[in-house]
Amino acid sequence: MSMASSQTAYRRLEGKVVIITGGSSGIGASTASSFKEHGAFAVIADIRDELGHALVNKLGERASYVHRDVSNEDNVAGLTDATPWGSILESTKANMDRVIGVNLYGACFGAKHAMRVMVPRHGGCILFIASSCTAISGFASHPYTASKCAIVSLARSLAAEMGQHGGER
């Protein structure tokens, strides 16, 4: 395949979201990897949480994992609701609450309890994982992008606060 046709194939799936049931291993994992390589955002749905999270860690920020048992109709019906759609027109409050709750509130709560221990000791380190979507637009959902941008600002403000206590910057 020539470089030009390879780039065309990559762009063909840019901005698309794929849901791969049973995607934690085997053919499903290979499929998720292939779709991701061609520009799609891969949602891996499975009941094998450890394998699913490991695959997402391997694939990076253009993939996510959701625990779903496809033998349960309610789990399947909720699968599309848990998928990070790209358009603001398709965003729902429930989806925003879930994404911001996990990404931002989780970071805030973790930092709060880490600082509770770090401040009296005058040191420590909190690491956050943001995303390149904080600097490059258009490849992640709006709620996800907003939550990751907020994490960058949270890290800055926490560094200033920790600095007041003689902590590392």
Residue 50 is part of a domain; what is its CATH number? Answer: 3.40.50.720
Question: Based on the structure, what is the number of domains in the chain?
Answer: 2
Q: Is 91 a catalytic residue?
A: no
- Report how far apart, in Å, the C-alpha atoms of 5 and of each of 11, 38, 39, 68, 112 are: 10, 12, 14, 36, 49
- Co-location of 51 and 101 in the same domain: no
- Co-location of 115 and 70 in the same domain: no
- Co-location of 14 and 37 in the same domain: yes
Which pLDDT score is estimated for 85?
Answer: 55
What range defines the domain where residue 100 resides?
88-169
- Co-location of 78 and 2 in the same domain: yes
- Co-location of 23 and 75 in the same domain: yes
Which pLDDT score is estimated for 3?
Answer: 47
- Co-location of 67 and 132 in the same domain: no
- Co-location of 6 and 24 in the same domain: yes
- Please identify every stretch of the chain with a pLDDT value under 70, giving residue numbers as ranges: 1-11, 80-86, 138-139, 167-169
Type and span of the H or E element at 45: strand 41-46
Which pLDDT score is estimated for 2?
Answer: 47
Which pLDDT score is estimated for 13?
Answer: 77
Q: Which of 83, 111, 127 is the last residue of a domain?
A: 83
- Co-location of 71 and 104 in the same domain: no
Tokens of 127: 């690491």
Q: Is 141 a catalytic residue?
A: no
Q: Which of 64, 141, 144, 147 is catalytic?
A: 144
Which pLDDT score is estimated for 169?
Answer: 46
- Co-location of 111 and 71 in the same domain: no
Q: Which of 64, 131, 141, 147 is catalytic?
A: 131
- Co-location of 51 and 93 in the same domain: no
Q: Which of 36, 65, 147, 148 is catalytic?
A: 148
Q: Which of 83, 113, 133 is the last residue of a domain?
A: 83
Q: Is 144 a catalytic residue?
A: yes
| 0.95 surpassed by pTM | no
- Co-location of 108 and 157 in the same domain: yes
Q: Which of 83, 105, 136 is the last residue of a domain?
A: 83
Nearest CA-CA partner of 62 in 84, 40, 83:
40
CB atoms within 10 A of CB 76: 15
Question: In this structure, what DSSP letter does residue 104 have?
Answer: I
- Co-location of 73 and 101 in the same domain: no
